[in-house]
Structure 1
Amino acid sequence: MDAELLRETRLQRHVRTPWRGAKLGLLGIPAMFVGLWLLTVFSMITSLIGVLLFPSAVTLLRNQADVYRDLIGRWTGVRIERPYLPEPEYEPGAHGVLKRFLVRFTDPATWRDCLWMLADPIVVLFTAALPALLIVYGLWGFALAAFAGGVIAGYGGGEWYGWVHVQPGYESDGGLLATTVVLGAVFTATGFAIGPKMMTVYARWGGLLLGPTRRSELALRVRHLTETRSEAVDASAAELRRIERDLHDGAQARLVAMGMSLGAIEHLLDKDPEKARILLAETRASSAKALHELRDLVRGIHPPVLADRGIGDAVKALALDHPLRVEVTADLPARPDAPVESAAYFAVSEILTNAAKHSGAARVWIDLRYEHGMLRITVTDDGRGGATLDGGTGLRGIERRVGTFDGVLALSSPPGGPTIVTLELPCALSSPKTSPS
């Protein structure tokens, strides 16, 4: 759900929703013309110009539909996924143009979007825009009672407001004036009262046409799994190369040196026991360093505290060794599966490293909790802000890491801070939480 929507109080939502509905109602005017343009291009489909214009008309249609999806998500919390089928790479030339036309023409989402653009200007009047219309009508009632009714009656005009007939003599009839004010108040209050409910109805209408069909859901799912599988394979290969490099450059080199030293010690035991004793001490120190490097390597693969105590205590241990002041709050009734814990741990570790390197922060707050089948981790720092997913800070890599588990990463980092990174990983809790000993 959008952060702005979460911060709204119930009263604020009732006040703001009617005007949001009015904006959606006004948006229906250009949307209708976009839908009509697609139908116009479709009518020329038997000619070359229709084939050439159709893909760009569909792009315009999809951009307009994306505006609706974004607004519905921000104002109702109902997230509507883009339903379009994956498109292949198009080769240049006439064959590529024809293939692009056929792919977009046969995508059911194209015609569902078109139906939305043509029908929404009517539907929105009876759903999202209805509260604003009621409020405006209620305000018109106040205007009639205050001055407009007298003006209309003075010029010999007449109109009905509800069941009140505005005609000559209206401005001097206290009963009619009072009834008009009451009706205006009822219409205005009703508009504010039903605003959120009407917006919810409108969001369901949006999900019906702007959301993915079963076919597109399966296609999008296949594409997502293909991408995450490829990313998981690449990440595993990179991790294996890192382990191999660390072993080769660290512990392996020390063990080879220890073997050579032991060979030298064997030859020196009888000839020069004192030098052999010095080499033996150096070999003992090398063995300790090799053991330390192997332990660091193991921690980099899967920290023992993570295996023994779970993600909550592992992140707390991570915070103790961090150069910034890090406060950790963990509310996990049980432990997630080990792969999810590992992905979450290393994601948090990378975010903390980014905060130390790039944010200029003094403090970091980490919140871990389990809600609605999701492991939710929020990392907030008081730094300068301005972080982006493409800013070279490794956040895109973290997004790919959690994406392997169908997780998502959300970033909020306005200039001046704070920076808030939120991770959500779907998972089940598999074992009871370890109690502190």
Structure 2
Amino acid sequence: MTMTRLKDAVVAGARGLWLTIYALVGSIVLFVFSVLSIAFILLGIGVFTTPLVLTGVRKYANSYRNLAAEWSGVTIPDAYRAFPADLRTGVTGQVERCTLMLKDPATWRDLQWLLVNMTAAPIVAVFAPALMLYMLYGWVLALGVWEPIYNAGGGEWFAFIHVTSQSTANQAALLGTGFFVLGVFVNPSLVRAHFLLARTLLAPTTSMRERELARRVDRLTETRHDAVDNSAAELRRIERDLHDGAQARLVAMGMDLGTIEALIESDPAKAKELLAKARQNSGEALTELRDLVRGIHPPVLAERGLGDAVKALALRLPITTEVDVELTGRAEESVESAAYFAVSESLTNAIKHSGADRIWVDMHHADGMLRIAVTDNGKGGAAIGSGSGLTGVERRLGTFDGVLAVSSPAGGPTMVTMEIPCELS
């Protein structure tokens, strides 16, 4: 019996005791409130209380998910349906929220889990501390406590041993020691079994996974359509910029060179003037072509990667911008391009609308996810769909199954968080 195993068993026993109390108290209270609140919907009161109570249930269930992952390495996914972005406020919004939560199959799985979590689940968890602590009672009996109990009119039972003498009290102490040794080996497994029982009820079923997969397919289909439309619009913009910008300057430069050819002998001064103009047009055409190429795919992005490209972008901004990059490799070219322009649009929004004097960009990759946060110390109030350009960023990320989240309370600060699933080479 190593000290490490003993320590793990004692820790598991303490966790089992906590889970027993946490399961009983939390589950009973939330289950009773949930049932009463749903019943009060018929009276109208439940429409307002049910979303609050069910939100509490979800937070309680999510705390269990966190404990399961932290204490036993048991992953319990959730399958709660997201509320629509255009959910209304006021009484109508409360009715919609209540209806959506009651239609969510995950809500009813939570309630079933609460019922099990206040009956069978605590029994599994309580064995972990019981196996460790029961030995103490056996030794207390063996040290002489059995005798006054027996003289008072009976005898004490220790498990299956009826303690009526010093001999049986010694047997109780020996059995208690055996329980303790058993606990050293099985306590972590008992805590894990408690969480596995929770996972059988909290984790989404196959049908729920299929529905979630269908929703993801629908979302990806929608974002793919947006990507095609955006690509077509981008091609039209490039064509227009080439036609009205660089192409027009090159045509003018060609005409000037033809005139220079005719005047070079008869009017050298005029020819020299036209040469200077042609040189100016060529420089401006080159600048426009560089800007156009940078807008399509910045050269620094292709040559040095996303981190350096964003740092180069930050240097050109009129606001002090700090960029923190922790990337151990490079993502696919299309992912890097989408992330770069999403950051660029977020920075543009911050400069135009936030009134900030400082911006922070944090980029890192973990658990197969590229995470980018753009934070400013401006006035806040940014929101997706408010005409700030964030809707376009969300659609751009959605093409790669990425997500966008915005936290922008009144008075600031504003944090735009982006996540794109990808692997680094």
Which TM bucket (shorter chain)?
0.5 to 0.7
| Match in the other structure for 1:124 | 121
| Match in the other structure for 1:202 | 198
Measured in 2, the distance between the counterparts of 1:12 and 1:344 equals 48
| Match in the other structure for 2:319 | none
Give the C-alpha shift of residue 82 in structure 1. 0.4
Give the C-alpha shift of residue 37 in structure 1. 1.4
Measured in 2, the distance between the counterparts of 1:88 and 1:54 equals 23
Measured in 2, the distance between the counterparts of 1:227 and 1:137 equals 56
Measured in 2, the distance between the counterparts of 1:395 and 1:167 equals 78
Deviations 1:272-315, CA, capped at 9 Å, x for gaps: 532441342243133123223312322321346767x7xxx533
Deviations 1:219-257, CA, capped at 9 Å, x for gaps: 744763476468657866986798689769965786687
Measured in 2, the distance between the counterparts of 1:136 and 1:179 equals 13
| Match in the other structure for 1:45 | none
1:32 aligns with 2:28: no
Give the C-alpha shift of residue 403 in structure 1. 2.5
1:314 aligns with 2:305: yes
Measured in 1, the distance between the counterparts of 2:335 and 2:360 equals 30
1:213 aligns with 2:208: yes
Letter in 2 for 1:314: G
SS in structure 1 at match of 2:119: helix
User: Which residue of 363, 370, 377 maps to 2:370?
Assistant: 377
| Match in the other structure for 2:51 | 59
Measured in 2, the distance between the counterparts of 1:242 and 1:16 equals 65
CA contact (8 A) 1:158 1:165 kept: yes
Measured in 2, the distance between the counterparts of 1:100 and 1:93 equals 10
Give the C-alpha shift of residue 343 in structure 1. 2.0
User: Which residue of 78, 81, 99 maps to 2:79?
Assistant: 81
**C-alpha spacing 1:204/1:264, structure 2 compared with 1 (3 Å):** farther
**C-alpha spacing 1:411/1:167, structure 2 compared with 1 (3 Å):** farther
| Match in the other structure for 1:287 | 282
Q: 1:12-411 alignment to 2 at 5 Å?
A: 18=16, 21-22=19-20, 23-38=22-37, 40-41=39-40, 50=42, 52-56=44-48, 58-75=50-67, 76=69, 77-83=75-81, 108-126=105-123, 130-136=124-130, 138-143=132-137, 145-146=139-140, 154-155=148-149, 156=152, 158-165=155-162, 173-187=169-183, 190-208=186-204, 213=208, 216-217=211-212, 220-221=215-216, 224-225=219-220, 228=223, 232=227, 251=246, 273-303=268-298, 313-315=304-306, 318=309, 321=312, 329-331=327-329, 336=332, 339-347=334-342, 358=358, 376-377=369-370, 400-408=395-403
Farther off after superposition, 180-189 or 254-263: 254-263
SS in structure 1 at match of 2:44: helix
CA contact (8 A) 1:17 1:196 kept: no
Measured in 2, the distance between the counterparts of 1:273 and 1:72 equals 87
Letter in 2 for 1:295: R
Q: 1:417-436 alignment to 2 at 5 Å?
A: 423-425=419-421
Letter in 2 for 1:180: G
Measured in 2, the distance between the counterparts of 1:113 and 1:220 equals 21
Give the C-alpha shift of residue 160 in structure 1. 3.4
Relative to the length of structure 2, the TM-score reads 0.62
Letter in 2 for 1:403: G
CA contact (8 A) 2:142 2:166 kept: no
**C-alpha spacing 1:17/1:176, structure 2 compared with 1 (3 Å):** closer
Letter in 1 for 2:306: V
Give the C-alpha shift of residue 18 in structure 1. 3.7
Letter in 1 for 2:59: V
Farther off after superposition, 25-34 or 247-256: 247-256
Give the C-alpha shift of residue 161 in structure 1. 3.6
Give the C-alpha shift of residue 99 in structure 1. 8.2
Measured in 1, the distance between the counterparts of 2:138 and 2:329 equals 58
SS in structure 2 at match of 1:82: coil
**Unmatched segments (≥5 aa) in structure 2:** 1-7, 70-74, 316-321, 351-356, 408-414
CA contact (8 A) 1:58 1:110 kept: no
Relative to the length of structure 1, the TM-score reads 0.61
Letter in 2 for 1:377: L
Let me know the Cα RMSD of the aligned residues. Answer: 5.8
